[in-house]
Amino acid sequence: MSDLLLDQPPAGASAERSRRGGRAGKRVSGGASFDQPPFRQLHIPYANTRIVSEDELESIHLASLRVLNEIGVDVLHDEARRIMKAHGADVQEGSERVRFDGDMLLELIAHAPSEFTVHARNPAHNLRFGGNNLIFAQMGSAPNCSDLDRGRRSGNQQDFRNFVKLAQVHNIIHATGGYPVEPTDIHPSIRHLECIRDLATLTDKVFHAYSLGRERNVDAIEIARIARGISREQLMNEPSLYSIINTNSPLKLDVPMMEGIIQMSSMGQVIIVTPFTLAGAMAPVTIAGAVVQQNAEALAGIAFTQMVRKGAPVGYGGFTSNVDMKSGAPAFGTPEYIKAQLLGGQLARRYKIPYRTSNVCAANQVDAQAAYESVFSLWGAIQGGANFMLHSAGWLEGGLRCSYEKMMVDIDLLQMVAEFLTPIDLSEDALAIDAIRDVGPGGHFFGTPHTQARYKTAFYSPIISDWRNFETWAEAGSPTALERANRLWKERLAAYEEPAMDPAIREELDAFVAKRTAEGGAPTDF
Amino acid sequence: MSDLLLDQPPAGASAERSRRGGRAGKRVSGGASFDQPPFRQLHIPYANTRIVSEDELESIHLASLRVLNEIGVDVLHDEARRIMKAHGADVQEGSERVRFDGDMLLELIAHAPSEFTVHARNPAHNLRFGGNNLIFAQMGSAPNCSDLDRGRRSGNQQDFRNFVKLAQVHNIIHATGGYPVEPTDIHPSIRHLECIRDLATLTDKVFHAYSLGRERNVDAIEIARIARGISREQLMNEPSLYSIINTNSPLKLDVPMMEGIIQMSSMGQVIIVTPFTLAGAMAPVTIAGAVVQQNAEALAGIAFTQMVRKGAPVGYGGFTSNVDMKSGAPAFGTPEYIKAQLLGGQLARRYKIPYRTSNVCAANQVDAQAAYESVFSLWGAIQGGANFMLHSAGWLEGGLRCSYEKMMVDIDLLQMVAEFLTPIDLSEDALAIDAIRDVGPGGHFFGTPHTQARYKTAFYSPIISDWRNFETWAEAGSPTALERANRLWKERLAAYEEPAMDPAIREELDAFVAKRTAEGGAPTDF
């Protein structure tokens, strides 16, 4: 499968443009009218960094099993408890507490696939999840957004759509990650219908559905099916939608989570179980303890997907970080965060479950802090063997904000990471002994045939970094990375083109959304 | 040796303060009146990331040997060529070209120690170079400096001293790295005398001498000897000074370099051979080719140290990066730079020579770009198994500037890296099963005994990162990392205390500098 994904021409409307541009080198015309590397499935070719020994890893694993066996989790959903009991979990009548036997859990988890394809409506944008594959998904779930011109504000539909368009336009963004910003101007009862239709039409990439009540999952699954133009049976065998389940840490699985797993897993769609274990707040103050708890919660959720349907595609999500013990505010991109990322990766690999992590920061502005916290997160993600990185682009302010400028900086960072993951050319020609001989001691390589033949594509060409010398840069008004990002997102948004969709499919999709909207959408209490 | 370095009380004048403060946790009183982690020898406990296979590494090694054998290097120093010829190199009368046999080179290099101690005048600041030890040295050699208040300017003695004091005051800076900024207000003939006396008196950490002519090396070695109060014989057995040799790429070794190696290596002092191989300019445009050339030049220089004195302490320096092919400007912290860092680390380990790399960026301002380029450099350094990181703190503008604010941001980054390298506590208590049991599903860990006992020292506490929520941060005037760094360096500089020195040693040092100054210092043409 993954071979199919390599160097495919871009999707739909932009294929023609791509044929004109060709694939001459590292910067070729992509899905829009600017140069960028082509859409491709990334792989991490390097060994993951092991932060603990096998024995130490086992001690964490065993501690998690003790937590699940001796303490257990509270499961607030009656049907879920019945399913768990049917699979041998210790469930007492009249209590929400569920305890698990370790062997039973491991037997269930062994049914989960270690690698699978997630299907997009454009097959060129299909993604491999697991193995050494790496997927970058846009930021999700910010209540606010900001740009340098208009400042910080609550999310609305226009900003939501702008961010989704930026995700479509950039080949390095493999998938959207939920709602990049919450469109608070759409009533919650029908918000999911509007938003998921947008995700399915404004992009042709893999998308996410929130698990916020049964109806929303059912609607999202149907939209994913219609958009791909396939039967329910085909959908069941071809994961085409994913949903993140954040456990209610510590040790609580609530009704919408369990309904989400039941709907998604029974339909063969992807669940990524991600405990939200902030050390010192919802988890122990020690990194080891927080990860023990993360692991216990993840194992419980992952096992439940396999109770619902053996072989259901599922990911192991790690989100452990620390809080500022002075204020309780969450911190990201910290040394503790990187350690938890590496440890989470080792655990996920132990269970052979694809691993999800994030590109996150706590900064309030796209300044040095935002950048170093993000690159530390990328460091932990890549060295930890991430398979899926949510919040890859746009995340600011601990997730409370999606920033247009941060999105552009992140896209540059992601493109740099992709280039870092591309193996070094070690051909005879690249070793360049003849070129070194031709130039000789004291010479210069500018303008030599070896350089001339390669200089246009030899190096990654950044979109944000400014490499001008000080004088030239100062004459240009001393622009910061933030200011360059501000100019760039507007250019990139202007280059957006809606990907083609079969008119019959579009009609079916609109009819479904209209029908569900007329029915009132999903129930709310207001 | 390295055990001795762990958790030592800080040096001289500040020891008393430290005893008052104790070492309760991660932030204890250090060499000055603020909280910081103690001075300690760092280790990289994780496996290095291998970017190429053993076979591929061998192809680079063999290509480098071919370059040295078939092309050779130009050696501009007559005595050096005589020494090389005496050791079996192919030297033709009337030509500067020297060619080397691979076996001869490898035999020589095998004499270099794989790990050794570099001595500071304060033994608590001795450093281990090699193995999995990691040393952070301040930036060196910037012609300019800047701060947010006074902008960018040529270096002078006051700024030079300020940066040196900041290096002394921060425990995470293990050594100075030459002149953080060039004090252009001191005449070059005596600049080295003034500067090295400052390095030896304003700090009690390991320092560097430039190889810019025989006299300067001889003077620096004598100052290092006097400052430690030891004999020449003891000095020969105890490396107490280091010098970076940047080869004149491509493939040229000039007079000051060779004189530097002859003086330093014959006296048992540390040479770090660092080719300055910018791909596309002084080296082939391919990363493989640039590293082949880097490796050839490094091997030639390292072998020469062993011709001068078998067993002389020497390091393998990697500085390969790419240039902006549009302007020829050097770029740093790029994907190509990280690849070269990892590859350099693999090569240095192949030869069992301690590895030197850098923390560098091309940014003109302490903005997001400066931060992400730096953290990418740190990523490559740590995963590449760096033993010595020059330019650890202060580097801006491709090395043309040392920035007060960048220095503070870098110190935060280095402290974070140090914390990342500290193993996770996996004790029964840290696994926290009992704490998880006590809190139970749906509870909270704030204020529990397990948290209370640990919260003060559980997490790294940053000096630049601002974790306040948006509202509080905005009320405080929305300070960027740059602005916070600006406030901080002034506080830190004010906390500087000159480390104690035996008055007799100080007198001898001053007398030596006075005598050499009276003699005119080192010859210059102006």
Whether A368 sits inside 8 A of B364 (CB atoms) is: no
At residue A325, the pLDDT reads 86
Q: For residue B82, what are the CA distances in angstroms to B75, B91, B133, B214, B218?
A: 10, 8, 36, 17, 21
| Residue of A383, A403, A420, A455 best to disrupt the B interface, most CBs of B under 10 A | A420
Phi first, then psi: what are they for B317, rounded to 5°?
Answer: -100, 135
At residue A28, the pLDDT reads 43
Cβ-based burial of B55 (10 A; exposed 0-12, middle 13-18, buried ≥19)? exposed
User: pLDDT in tens for each of the 526 residues of chain A?
Assistant: 333 333 333 333 333 333 333 333 344 444 457 999 999 999 999 999 999 999 999 999 999 999 999 999 999 999 999 999 999 999 999 999 999 999 999 999 999 999 999 999 999 999 999 999 999 999 999 999 999 999 999 999 999 999 999 999 999 999 999 999 999 999 999 999 999 999 999 999 999 999 999 999 999 999 999 999 999 999 999 999 999 999 999 999 999 999 999 999 999 999 999 999 999 999 999 999 999 999 999 999 999 999 999 999 999 999 999 999 888 899 999 999 999 999 999 999 999 999 999 999 999 999 999 999 999 999 999 999 999 999 999 999 999 999 999 999 999 999 999 999 999 999 999 999 999 999 999 999 998 999 999 999 999 999 999 999 999 999 999 999 999 999 999 999 999 999 999 999 999 999 999 999 999 999 887 6
For residue B110, the number of C-alpha atoms closer than 13 Å in the C-beta half-sphere is: 6
- Low-confidence winner among A322-326, B103-107, B122-126, B147-151 (lowest mean pLDDT): A322-326
Q: Which two tokens stand for residue B169?
A: 């005051």
Whether B285 sits inside 8 A of A334 (CB atoms) is: no
Amino acid at B322: N
Closest CA to B250 of A445, A454, A459, A426: A445
Chain A residue nearest residue B297, CA to CA:
A441
At residue A32, the pLDDT reads 53
At residue B98, the pLDDT reads 98
Asked if B408 reaches chain A (Cβ–Cβ under 8 Å), the answer is no
Q: For chain A, how big is the Rg over CA atoms in Å?
A: 24
Is residue B302 helix, strand or coil? Answer: helix
pTM: 0.94
Assess whether pLDDT exceeds 50 at residue B252: yes
Element (H, E) at A27: none
Give B 144-183 residues with CB within 8 A of chain A.
152
Average pLDDT of the segment spanning B393-407: 98
| Residue of A55, A457, A480 best to disrupt the B interface, most CBs of B under 10 A | A480
Residues of A in contact with B427 (CB under 8 A): 288
B59: nearest CB among A292, A363, A426: A426
Q: For residue A417, what are the CA distances in angstroms to A420, B48, B282, B319, B383?
A: 5, 18, 26, 20, 14
Residues of B in contact with A367 (CB under 8 A): 367-368, 371, 480-482
* Chain Cα centroid distance, residue A91: 34
Assess whether pLDDT exceeds 70 at residue B10: no
pLDDT in tens, B64-109: 999 999 999 999 999 999 999 999 999 999 999 999 999 999 999 9
User: Count of CB atoms within 10 A of residue B169's CB?
Assistant: 23
CB contact at 8 A, A29 and A20: yes
At residue A101, the pLDDT reads 98
Give A 237-276 residues with CB within 8 A of chain B.
248, 250-252
At residue A524, the pLDDT reads 83
| B97-99 and B73-75 beta bridge pairing | antiparallel
Q: Which residues contact B107 (CB under 8 A, 6 or more apart)?
A: none
Assess whether pLDDT exceeds 60 at residue B298: yes
At residue A385, the pLDDT reads 98
State the pLDDT confidence band at B156, using cuts at 50, 70 and 90.
Answer: very high
CB contact at 8 A, B124 and B11: yes
Assess whether pLDDT exceeds 80 at residue B469: yes
Q: What percent of chain B has pLDDT over 90?
A: 92
Asked if B67 reaches chain A (Cβ–Cβ under 8 Å), the answer is yes
At residue A526, the pLDDT reads 67
Asked if B436 reaches chain A (Cβ–Cβ under 8 Å), the answer is yes
Residue A488 CA to residue A370 CA, distance in Å, equals: 18
Assess whether pLDDT exceeds 60 at residue B21: no
Average pLDDT of the segment spanning B307-323: 98
Give A 321-340 residues with CB within 8 A of chain B.
322, 324-325, 327-329, 331, 334-336, 338-339
Whether A455 sits inside 8 A of B343 (CB atoms) is: no
Asked if A402 reaches chain B (Cβ–Cβ under 8 Å), the answer is no
Assess whether pLDDT exceeds 60 at residue B424: yes
Asked if A413 reaches chain B (Cβ–Cβ under 8 Å), the answer is yes
DSSP calls for B86-150:
HTT-EE-TT--EEE--HHHHHHHHTTS-SEEEE--SSGGG-EEEETTEEEEB----BSEEEETTT
Whether A375 sits inside 8 A of B370 (CB atoms) is: no
Chain B residue nearest residue A362, CA to CA:
B467
Assess whether pLDDT exceeds 70 at residue B25: no
B413: nearest CB among A63, A292, A372: A372
A371: nearest CB among B70, B327, B372: B372
Distance from the first to the final alpha carbon of chain B: 46
Give the closest-approach CA distance of A51 to chain B in angstroms.
6
Cis peptide bond prior to B250, omega within 30° of 0: yes
For residue B97, the number of C-alpha atoms closer than 13 Å in the C-beta half-sphere is: 13
Residues of A in contact with B474 (CB under 8 A): 364
A425: nearest CB among B46, B288, B366: B288
Residues of A in contact with B401 (CB under 8 A): 470
Average pLDDT of the segment spanning B176-186: 98
Asked if B371 reaches chain A (Cβ–Cβ under 8 Å), the answer is yes
Whether A465 sits inside 8 A of B383 (CB atoms) is: no
Assess whether pLDDT exceeds 70 at residue B14: no
At residue A21, the pLDDT reads 33
Residues of A in contact with B485 (CB under 8 A): 368
Asked if A376 reaches chain B (Cβ–Cβ under 8 Å), the answer is yes
Q: Do the interacting molecules here have an ipTM over 0.90?
A: yes
Tokens 């730096």 correspond to what residue? B374
Average pLDDT of the segment spanning B425-441: 98
Chain B residue nearest residue A474, CA to CA:
B364
Give A 97-136 residues with CB within 8 A of chain B.
97
Whether B451 sits inside 8 A of A280 (CB atoms) is: yes
A365: nearest CB among B397, B432, B478: B478
Average pLDDT of the segment spanning B442-452: 95
